[in-house]
């Protein structure tokens, strides 16, 4: 019983330790079609829960389903194959609601 409890606790801790949001600086975004294409590409990944693309901020943010992740290599490959240049990837705990609010604030 103790082993089962410990295993469950470790699984819960590792799931919460993984970042739920991946923020990327992406260059080459020039129009709404670029944003739509990136969003469509990233939503194909089963780990993706939500996507935000900001042309002005050169930001692509992905929320993953709890306990799931997408590797930096996989993200970089998908975006470079689509013709974009990934300048940086950060894993954060910032919610998509916070990201959207910050982007709206920047445009005012």
Angstrom CA distances, 83 to 7, 37, 106, 107, stand at 43, 11, 26, 26
pLDDT at 8 over 80: no
Q: What is the DSSP letter of 25?
A: E
pLDDT at 48 over 60: yes
In this structure, what is the dihedral angle of CA atoms 74, 88, 104, 102, given to the nearest 10 degrees? 110
Give per-residue pLDDT as tens, 14-33.
Answer: 333 445 899 999 999 999 99
Give per-residue pLDDT as tens, 55-106.
Answer: 999 999 999 999 999 999 999 999 999 999 999 999 999 999 999 999 988 7
Q: Which CATH architecture has domain 19-107?
A: 2-Layer Sandwich (3.30)
């Amino acid at each position: 019983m103790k082993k089962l409890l410990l295993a469950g606790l470790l699984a819960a801790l590792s799931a919460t330790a993984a970042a739920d949001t991946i923020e990327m600086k992406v260059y080459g975004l020039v129009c709404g079609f670029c944003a739509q294409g990136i969003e469509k590409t990233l939503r194909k990944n089963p780990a993706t829960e939500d996507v935000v693309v900001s042309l002005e901020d050169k930001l692509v943010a992905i929320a993953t389903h709890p306990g799931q992740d997408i590797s930096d290599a996989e993200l970089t490959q998908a975006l470079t194959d689509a013709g974009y240049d990934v300048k940086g990837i950060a894993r954060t705990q910032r919610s998509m609601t916070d990201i959207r609010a910050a982007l709206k604030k920047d445009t005012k």
